[in-house]
Every structure is written in C-alpha cells, then in structure tokens.
Amino acid sequence: MSGEGTSRVLELEQRLRQLTLLQDAVRKINSTLDLDQLLNEIVIDLAGAFGCNHTALLLFDEPSDELEIIAIHGFSDLKKGFRFKPGKRGMVAQVAVTGQPMYAPDVSNNAHYFHCESATRSEIAIPLLCKGRLIGVMDAQSPRLDGFSSDQLQLLTAFADSIASAIENARLFRTERLQKERILREQDEARVIQSALLPSSDPALAGYKIEGSCLQVRAVGGDWYDYVPLDRNRLGIVLGDVCGKGMAAALLMSATRSIVRRNIDSAVKPADMLRRVNTSLRDDFPPGRFVTLIYAVLDGDQHTLTFSSAGHLPPLMRRGGCCSCIHTEAGFPLGIFDADFSEATVEMDPGSTVLFYTDGIVEAVDLAGNEYGVDRLSAALDGAIPCARMLTEDAIRYSGQNLADDATVVLVRRI
C-alpha cells in the first residue's frame, strides 16, 4: 500500500475512533444523572481520541458570575474547582462572553490566548449552550499547530451540544431531588409534631378500658382523637375529622384541637362545648372547609356516656349481644354556619362497648370497589373482645393494604 493510502487508512481509523468515542459518551451522558465521574472520564477520552494534551469543561455559575472548572485533564497549574470571571484574558473567558466558538490554529497569533501551558500550539473553545443560554465552555488544546481539522471541529461542536443538554438535565434533576428531600424532611417533621398531638397513652378510669388508634395514610392528615380529664371519675373524649387531606387538613386539625381544648370544661355540657367551638371556627375556617366531631363525657360513677355530634358518623354500641348505632337529633359539621347541637346519653352496663370512628374505616374499599361499611365494622365489634388496633387492622386487610383515607377509632368498654 502506498504511503498516501496508508495515511488515508490511518485517518479513517482515527475518525472512527473519534466517532465511537462521541457515540459512547453521548449514550452514557443521556443515561446518567450523576455527571461528576462521567465528565472526568470524558475529558480524558477526548484527549486520547483527538490528540489533545489539555482538555477541560467549565460551568457558568450565575449567582457569582464566574466560570468554574468541573472536569480537567493534563493541565499543570489549573485544578478542578478553579474559578475566574468571563471576559478576562483567555479564549475560554472570551467565549463565555460572546457565546461563539473560537479556534486558534496557532495560539501565538491569537490576541485572546492566555499563555498557560508551554506545550500548547492550537486551541478550540466551544460554548455549552442550552436553549440559547450559555451554561459553560468546553476547551481542548493540542501540541500541534492547526491540531484540529474541520471535521474534528464539527464533531466537537456536536459533542458540546450533547454535554450541555446532559448537564442541564442533571441540574434540573438535582434541583428536583433537593426539593423532594426538603419536602420529605418537612413532612417527617410535621409527622412528628402531629403524632405528639395525639395521646401518648390511653387513660386510666376505674372499671373501664379506653383505647384509641389512628392510622394516617399520608405523612399528616386531618384525623385526631383526644382525652381530657374533667375530674377524678369523669373523662372527656374527642374524635374529629377535618375535611380534606394532607398538610392543609393537618393545620386545620391542629387549630381545631387547640380551640376544642380551650373550650372543654368540667361544668360545660357536650352540646354547649360544640356550640362554642363552632362559633370560633365559623369565623376562622376558609370557605369549603369544615370539621366533623364528637365530644363525649364518660362518667365512671354514674356509668353513663353522654355525647354530642357535629355531623360525625354515629357511634356504635355493643350491649347485651346486640350492636347498633347511637344517633343524636341535631348537629351539623363545625365551621360552616350557626347550628344547634343535641345530646344522647347511654348506660354503660358491665361488658358494654361504645366505638367512635372516622369515615376512613367504613369507606375503605376492596379490590372490587365494595365498601367495608358499618355492617362489617359492627360484625368486627360484635366478635371476640375487640381492641382499637384490631379494628383498624381489619379495615386495612379488607382494603388490601390500600386505605384511601385516615382511619381512626376510639373504643370505650366497661370491664
């Protein structure tokens, strides 16, 4: 083979290596969102494929108005993390200002070239552009005069476009990840705070077993229950459900809890307490928001339970082998308009049980879309001696571990 033919073969082989490098690099770039290690590999591969002695990638940091080296190979003085201002001496600095590529076949004849490496004879600086906005610069230097052919310059320009797109995608991913991590941290903090608003233990009242269970399907929610001692043998019991889900419902729940606690008094009847709370919430709640709530007073001396309901689901009572709902005559949800509230009183015979619950229990659905319902809840209550957690877990199993709403119960049983 003639010398010309051999040279042509070598040229084609070199071009093939360069195309293969760029194709592999583009494939890797588009498949990863963690670019640090990959960009370090790219500057090394660029040097080998294009015969460069120095290669670097720089990003523009808008807050500081500086260029920062994020990947570098072959330089003796410059290091990763080095920063400088656009517009200063150097081809890279000029490209960062103009947004146009700059090629110096002979750096000694380029007015913008900044002498940094004695072995450099030619240099190409290419802007990294994303939607017309400069995000950085790619720089490659050769120890040969006119070290980059027109074909190589075209390949490098196309490669710079791919790098710019990948870097921007990685930035967006990093921003979204940080935002998600911040939201998750805030949700964790909110969960801890809201959990602290629930009773840390069940109350002790002679002759009675009282227990509650609250399962939140999100980090925070609008269900809550509370116990308020009124005197030595009387206990106030609250169960509420704020309309809505998530953080908004949790904030309204917290506000409602505070207002309820402020208005509970040993001398105030359940209906009067709800009336007071409604007056406060009616003026403060945003439109479309409301609370359903039950307030009950358990008297351990008289063995009675007196409650008033603000639009809440009627409690279930199991007594003498029969399970039924206990209704009150009047009571709209809190926070909408002026309303009257009535009371109901039941005798707590030995072995009798009263269950308060939220709609997350009875509205749980199975895979076919059938609701758990009051009948199933009554059957669970009418079975073996129930406990609060057993009742919530029964609804969870029914839904296939896929509850759509918070599920809360409070169980009162005379031993």
Structurally, how many domains does the chain consist of?
2
Residue after which a domain boundary falls, among 108, 140, 170: 170
Same domain? For 357 and 232 the reply is yes
Same domain? For 31 and 105 the reply is yes
Same domain? For 236 and 165 the reply is no
Please check whether residue 263 lies inside any domain of the structure: yes
At 329, is the pLDDT very low, low, confident or very high (cuts 50, 70, 90)?
very high
Please check whether residue 404 lies inside any domain of the structure: yes
Question: Of residues 404 and 202, which shows the higher confidence score?
Answer: 202
Residue 405 contacts residue 360 (beta carbons within 8 Å): yes
Same domain? For 126 and 200 the reply is no
> What is the average pLDDT across 337-359?
96
- pLDDT per residue as tens digits for the range 229-242: 999 999 999 999 99
Same domain? For 149 and 221 the reply is no
Query: What confidence score (pLDDT) does residue 170 get?
Result: 79
> What is the average pLDDT across 368-372?
94
Same domain? For 30 and 165 the reply is yes
For 12-21, 117-126, 302-311, 394-403, which range has the lowest pLDDT when averaged over its residues? 12-21
**327 pLDDT above the threshold of 90:** yes
Please check whether residue 370 lies inside any domain of the structure: yes
Please check whether residue 177 lies inside any domain of the structure: no
- pLDDT per residue as tens digits for the range 119-128: 999 999 999 9
Please check whether residue 186 lies inside any domain of the structure: no
**284 pLDDT above the threshold of 70:** yes
> What is the average pLDDT across 92-116?
94
Same domain? For 199 and 154 the reply is no
> How many Cα atoms are found within 13 Å in the side-chain-facing hemisphere of 89?
6
Please check whether residue 202 lies inside any domain of the structure: yes
Same domain? For 134 and 215 the reply is no
Residue 162 CA from chain centroid, whole number: 30
Query: What confidence score (pLDDT) does residue 5 get?
Result: 62
**33 pLDDT above the threshold of 70:** no
Residue 269 contacts residue 277 (beta carbons within 8 Å): no
- pLDDT per residue as tens digits for the range 206-255: 999 999 999 877 667 789 999 999 999 999 999 999 988 778 888 889 99
Query: What confidence score (pLDDT) does residue 32 get?
Result: 58
Question: Of residues 405 and 357, which shows the higher confidence score?
Answer: 357
Q: What is the mean pLDDT of the chain?
A: 89
Same domain? For 87 and 225 the reply is no
> How many Cα atoms are found within 13 Å in the side-chain-facing hemisphere of 410?
27
- pLDDT per residue as tens digits for the range 154-188: 989 988 888 888 888 877 887 888 899 988 888 78
Query: What confidence score (pLDDT) does residue 283 get?
Result: 83
**Paired tokens of 52:** 């460069």
Q: At what angle do helices 150-197 and 36-50 cross, to 10 degrees?
A: 170
**106 pLDDT above the threshold of 90:** yes
Q: What CATH number has the domain bearing residue 149?
A: 3.30.450.40
Q: What range defines the domain where residue 66 resides?
A: 3-170
Same domain? For 270 and 122 the reply is no
Query: What confidence score (pLDDT) does residue 347 get?
Result: 97
In angstroms, the Cα distances linking 412 to 205, 216, 294 are: 10, 21, 14
Question: Of residues 346 and 76, which shows the higher confidence score?
Answer: 346
Among the listed residues 159, 103, 167, the one whose alpha carbon sits nearest the alpha carbon of residue 133: 167
Q: What CATH number has the domain bearing residue 300?
A: 3.60.40.10
**Paired tokens of 252:** 């309204």
Please check whether residue 180 lies inside any domain of the structure: no
Residue after which a domain boundary falls, among 110, 139, 170: 170
In angstroms, the Cα distances linking 129 to 91, 96, 133, 160 are: 17, 10, 5, 8
Same domain? For 158 and 207 the reply is no
**112 pLDDT above the threshold of 70:** yes
Residue after which a domain boundary falls, among 170, 205, 221: 170
Best mean pLDDT range from 83-87, 151-155, 335-339, 410-414 = 410-414
Same domain? For 136 and 226 the reply is no
Please check whether residue 185 lies inside any domain of the structure: no
Query: What confidence score (pLDDT) does residue 29 get?
Result: 63
At 413, is the pLDDT very low, low, confident or very high (cuts 50, 70, 90)?
very high
